Amino acid sequence: MLFGKRKRTINRILIVEDEPLVAFDNEHFLREAGFDIVATTDRVEEALRFIDSEGLHLVLADIRLSDGSGLDVARAARDRGIPLLFVTGQCPPEARELALGVLNKPYGNRDLVAAIDTIDAKIAGRTVKRLPPGLDLF
């Protein structure tokens, strides 16, 4: 596309994060960047309800949550065909089979958007030449 941004296929995002300040910051910044944040939660049970009922394009999930593990969220998302990106400080090896990648904490807001855009490109089959800082694709 000449002189314009490519249209994103990822728009509707569920944020699953147990650190209130990180959750608030991510939600606010992603909305400002033009994403539709379906919900922000710190609980596995609530995340599973959104995964079952909403037309999600991406789940951003931490591993450690207030009532369980982000791995459970990732399994549910995978079973529904919803892409997931872990956003965590410690990503266990078993996460590789459940998600498209991990954005390692700490990360900046621009790195988060760049990571989502990279996931968007990967889903669309476009070549990704350079990964944003802290992003590892699986």
Which residues, at least 6 apart from 79, have a Cβ–Cβ distance to it below 8 Å? none
How high does pLDDT run on average in the chain? 93
User: pTM of the prediction?
Assistant: 0.92
- Looking at the DSSP bridge assignments, the partners of residue 136 are 102
Write the pLDDT tens digit of every residue in 71-129.
Answer: 999 999 999 999 999 999 999 999 999 999 999 999 999 999 999 999 999 999 999 88
pLDDT of 1 above 50: no
Which residues, other chains included, contact 51 with Cβ-Cβ below 8 Å and sequence gap of 6+?
A: 14, 59, 73, 76, 77, 80, 82
Read off the pLDDT of each residue in 16-39 and give the average, rounded to a whole number: 96
CA distance 138 to 131: 12
Residue 2 has pLDDT above 60, yes or no: no
Query: Any idea where the domains of the chain sit in the sequence?
Result: 12-125+132-137
Cα–Cα dist 89/6, whole Å: 30
| Contact status, residue 84 vs residue 73, Cβ threshold 8 Å | yes
So what CATH class is 12-125+132-137?
A: alpha beta
